[in-house]
Amino acid sequence: MNREVKLYNEVSSYCSELITKKYSTSFSLGIKTLHKNIHKHIYSIYGFVRFADEIVDTFHDLDKEKVLDQFEKDTFESIENNFSANPVLHSFQMVVNQFNIDKKHIKAFLNSMRMDLTMKKFSEDEYKDYIYGSAEVVGLMCLKVFCNNQNKYNELEPYAISLGSAFQKINFLRDIKSDNDERGRVYFPGVDYSTFSTKDKVEIEEDIEKDFNHALIGIKKLPSVARSGVYLSYNYYRELLKKIKFLDAKRLKKERIRVSNFKKFIILLSSYINPL
């Protein structure tokens, strides 16, 4: 590899790192606890995911469907060509090609982003499909980086799916107000925002607990390069769920739950002091 190509690769990876740090302090904190050799790969996955999400949720004056279609076309062309003039896509294709990430996972993710363009309410099947594409496959992309062989990946796949599902459902609960007020969306099937009750909320929380309990089994089996970082993210979302549980449904519809920076530090410290 010549010097110019190497430099372009490094700059592209750095762009994804910068995006991650600017958009998500909690995710950045989790990456820092992974082995340093895989940092740039996870940054690259997040950079791709973040930009696709921005297309559907931020730039309201654009023809979002057209932009997303072009983004998808450019994504798969970059994977095929091992190159993109878009540094975020270039860094992502490097990870996809190096770790043989399944293209059906990328397609599923983009399909979920496309669902956000048109859908406001979800059936049970649509809800499951959306969670699979928007969160579970992202965890599976990361799992490809974490695992050094296909057998280990196959063993841990169902646990990674449960963890991604738990994370996304907590995001839905935390953002239920903004999703409804700003985007007109209610992701939970059979739930009417105007009558969203504490009973509805408790049922969702119990479903999340099942996902968490299953996911923890897999976290304990992760390779050492990833275990502490994933466990930290698990504990962070556990804290979010704990805070959500303290609120009734009416209050959850009025405020967005956050974890303070001090509490994030405590979670980081406790994850190190009491590792799996």
Do 142 and 42 touch, CB atoms closer than 8 A? yes
Domain residue spans of the chain: 1-118, 120-276
Q: Which fold has domain 120-276?
A: Farnesyl Diphosphate Synthase (1.10.600)
SS3 sequence, 43-83?
A: HHHHHHHHHHHHHHHCCCCCCHHHHHHHHHHHHHHHHHHCC
pLDDT digits (tens, 9 = 90+) for 185-242: 999 999 999 999 999 999 999 999 999 999 999 999 999 999 999 999 999 999 999 9
Considering the chain, what is the average pLDDT of its residues? 94
Place of tokens 């519809």: 253
Q: Which helix (H) or strand (E) holds 140?
A: helix 137-146
With b for 16 or more beta-carbon neighbours within 10 A and e for fewer, the 8-26 pattern comes to ebeebbebbbebbbebeeb
Q: What is the mean pLDDT of residues 2-11?
A: 96
Q: Which two structure tokens, joined as six digits, stand for 109?
A: 């993710």
With b for 16 or more beta-carbon neighbours within 10 A and e for fewer, the 29-49 pattern comes to bbbebbeeebbbbbbbbbbbb
pLDDT at 271 (0 to 100): 74
Question: Over 90: is that where the pLDDT of 136 sits?
Answer: yes
Question: Over 80: is that where the pLDDT of 270 sits?
Answer: no
pLDDT at 264 (0 to 100): 77
Q: What span, in angstroms and rounded, lies between the C-alpha atoms of 59 and 259?
A: 27
pLDDT at 198 (0 to 100): 92
pLDDT at 41 (0 to 100): 97
C-alpha angle 127-128-131 in degrees, rounded to nearest 5: 85
Q: What span, in angstroms and rounded, lies between the C-alpha atoms of 95 and 76?
A: 13
| CATH, range 1-118 | 1.10.600.10
Question: Over 80: is that where the pLDDT of 272 sits?
Answer: no
Identify the residue with better confidence: 267 or 111. Answer: 111
pLDDT at 47 (0 to 100): 96
Of 23, 43, 22, give the one whose Cα is nearest residue 31. 43
pLDDT band at 16 (very low <50, low <70, confident <90, very high): very high
Torsion, Cα 103 147 169 61, to 10 degrees, reads -40
**pTM of this structure:** 0.95
